[in-house]
Chains A and B, each alone.
Chain A
Amino acid sequence: GAVVSQHPSWVICKSGTSVKIECRSLDFQATTMFWYRQFPKQSLMLMATSNEGSKATYEQGVEKDKFLINHASLTLSTLTVTSAHPEDSSFYICSARGTSDYEQYFGPGTRLTVT
């Protein structure tokens, strides 16, 4: 149990375009989802926390107008990178937590390359 999927697993896009990444909890209801970014050889950086039906809480330094997060249901959260630039190229990972869980269950990650 406790499976989280992400789609797509990798994407290449041109500078200036927008990319949407989906995160789904397949067998549990995720009351809270977290979006992380990881640059090569660095640790995970929390970008934002989202609770179903409410606005996401962004970490300091993360532009909420550039990284749009929608947690519309208990099983789906999306991250849209708007007007992507090459410096947005990174590994984006989501995780989800159920109501009574202490553990965060991670998706497999999405590798974004902006050319």
Chain B
Amino acid sequence: GQNIDQPTEMTATEGAIVQINCTYQTSGFNGLFWYQQHAGEAPTFLSYNVLDGLEEKGRFSSFLSRSKGYSYLLLKELQMKDSASYLCAVSESNYQLIWGAGTKLIIKP
């Protein structure tokens, strides 16, 4: 079956680092996406991993291990505007995205 798991909610402090984990079980794999979604808005693209390893993009990094069915999103130097939901999604071979339920990240001063 298809399953994507990520924590429901996390809390972190402004200026700190936070890691949001995502584990998946899908019938096919054509890449893993991370999206950011602020309340009442559509998701915005953060990262895409199709090969194992770490992809760094500014304050955000994303890691993938295909053998373990595991990914994480790492956010550094947290800012208040990073308070949002972070969605993990896996693209199966037909390019449909299988979505996790999202992790609500709360940033405290």
Chain A residues within CB distance 8 Å of chain B? 32, 34, 42-46, 49, 91, 93, 97, 102-109, 111
Does more than half of chain B's interface fall in helix, strand or loop, or is it mixed? Answer: loop
The CA-CA distance from A93 to B42 in the complex, in Å, is 7
B60 at the interface (CB under 8 A from A): no
Give the size range of B's interface with the partner.
20 to 34
Annotate B24-37 by CB proximity to A: 1 below 8 A, 0 otherwise.
Answer: 00000011010000
- In chain B, positions 56-93 with a C-beta closer than 8 Å to chain A are 87, 91
The CA-CA distance from A43 to B43 in the complex, in Å, is 10
A103 with B33, Cβ < 8 A, contacts A43-B101, A43-B102 known = yes
The CA-CA distance from A102 to B49 in the complex, in Å, is 11
Give, as a whole number of angstroms, the nearest-CB distance from B9 to chain A: 11
The CA-CA distance from A103 to B50 in the complex, in Å, is 12
A109 engages B95 (CB within 8 Å):
no
A108 engages B43 (CB within 8 Å):
no
B96 engages A44 (CB within 8 Å):
no
A106 engages B97 (CB within 8 Å):
no
Q: Which residue of A lies closest to B100 (CB)?
A: A43
